[in-house]
Amino acid sequence: MANRLYKRGQTYYAQFYDLNGKRITRTTGCGDRKAAEAKLREFERRAADPDHAAANEATVGQALNNMMRDRRLKGRAQGTLDSYAVKAGHVLRLLGENTVLAQVNARTVDAYIDKRLGEGAKRNTIGKELTVLRGALKVAKRRGEFPRDIAAVMPEGFSTDYKPKERYLPKHEALALLGELAPDRAARVAFIIATGARWGESERAERGDIDLGQQVVRLRGTKTKASARFVPIVGDDARKLLEHAMRYADGSGGLLFRPWGNVRRDLAEACERAHIDPATPNDLRRTTATWLRMAEVEPHLIGAMLGHTDSRMVERVYGRMPVDALGKALRMRVEGPPNAETACSVFVADEGVSQGSESPQTRHAPEPQNQKTPENMRLQGFTAVKKLGLAVPRDGIEPPTRGFSILC
């Protein structure tokens, strides 16, 4: 070993050969001879065993990049990849991009979880981040870059305490919300409820995407393979909501709607004015699924409407049937239909309105002024809802259980 180590100044340099017989000279970074000898042995081992070298040189950042590449090759949608990237960002931030992957062990992962909990992250969010880390370790294991047992590193049975949200808008609440929004914003809410569009899909919507003649709407989704889709216009209420959307949408540059920043805040404030519980953009989408589920539409059909690849998300999150609607459905199965029933639409449009005349409810309603002040825009939205004839049902009427209608 004496002839393979030599000193320049205070630092020892090593000479060794790779598998192709090429001589390599590299600094050991050591001033102590015994430490330099140990470093030379490590150099020789890595040169003789590429797998050992890979397992000791791959970093956390490289592993996550390889995982993203693997998911792209598997055809994951851009929206899914974007979600992975967000989760991977937290892993990089806390574990360190240049940390050697072989140093990641159970203690490392436990410390990561403790840190994220201390930052106030929800357990469900941490669970998704751990899923990304586990995926990165699996890809690295296949590439020979992670020497440890993944099952021994990752926590078993990490509880996310995930509870699916159940908030949806009964039809009278949906109408009340429309009346508290400016026309273009009410138009977007109507569009989402009628189609089950994601928020991003509503942002990309164009006026030509709504075809009332063919009874179909194009949704420009990107999150999954099933996101870019055409959905049918089912029921009179969906048609009226989309007519409302087309009439009052005020987008430019080919887009159907104007940009809408701070949507969560604006929706919460509108709900407060309407005296209903707060609603988020995803609650609007859940509203579509819940109405369909209350109409006893099968989950796999609702999943196709929402752009899911199967029915699992509908069954777990989006299409959970409220207990009163579930009771009605079960009674229909057990007791049979009632002797007499009459279906009537919750959204009752006055015939005069459809022909351009005023309904009795709106004939004497003062028209809002044209100035686009926040108050006037809100009043325009409220008047627009009234002119559509989307009458809010009186107290005591339950949401529909058959299509977009209810039993009266």
Q: What is the pLDDT of residues 49-86, one digit of tens each?
A: 655 555 567 899 999 999 999 999 988 878 788 889 99
Superfamily (CATH H level) for 60-153: Tyrosine recombinase, N-terminal domain (1.10.150.130)
- Exposure b/e, 228-242, CB count within 10 A at least 16 = b: ebebebbbbbbbbbb
pLDDT for residue 300: 84
Write the DSSP assignment of 282-341 as a string of letters: HHHHHHHHHHHHHTT--HHHHHHHHT-SSSHHIIIII-PPPHHHHHHHHHHHHH---S--
Residues of the chain with CATH 1.10.443.10: 171-407
- pLDDT surpasses 60 at 156: yes
Beta bridge partners of 231: 217
pLDDT in tens, 25-34: 889 889 888 8
Burial status of residue 161 (CB atoms within 10 A of its CB: 0-12, 13-18, 19 or more) = exposed
Alpha carbons 86 and 75: distance in angstroms, whole number? 18
Average pLDDT, the chain: 79
Question: What is the identity of the amino acid at 164?
Answer: P
* Topology given in CATH for the domain delimited by 171-407: hpI Integrase; Chain A (1.10.443)
Q: Does 323 have pLDDT greater than 80?
A: no
The pLDDT value recorded for residue 393 is: 42
Q: How many CA atoms lie within 13 A of 54 on its CB side?
A: 12
Positions of CATH 1.10.150.130 in the chain:
60-153
Contact predicate 32/73, CB 8 Å: no
- Angle in degrees, 0-180, between the axes of helices 263-273 and 171-179, rounded to the nearest 10: 110
Helix, strand and coil in the chain, % to nearest 5: 50, 10, 40
Tokens of 285: 């989408």
